[in-house]
Amino acid sequence: MAYSPGLARKVLATDAGSPEEKSALGALYAGTPECGMATVPTSIGPTFQRAAIADALYAWSQQK
């Protein structure tokens, strides 16, 4: 999330399972290739991805 917290927030601002979520996930992965993936992984479900993004964004926001 350190690379693009704004894109992560956009994912969480969508409704789970919506076309908007799918688009926001695509933008997040495309916008942060330094994280090791440039496309949405098909082997990881969107619900798990959303939870991991929320957890990482929270951890990022608590840095001091």
- Residue 28: the pLDDT is 94
What is the spatial distance between Cα 63 and Cα 33, in angstroms, rounded to a whole number?
A: 23
Tokens describing residue 18: 């919506």
Q: How many CB atoms lie within 10 A of CB 30?
A: 13
Residue ranges of the chain whose pLDDT lies below 70: 1
CB 25 within 8 A of CB 15: no
Could you tell me the residue ranges of all domains in the chain? 5-61
- Residue 35: the pLDDT is 80
- Residue 1: the pLDDT is 63
pTM of the model: 0.87
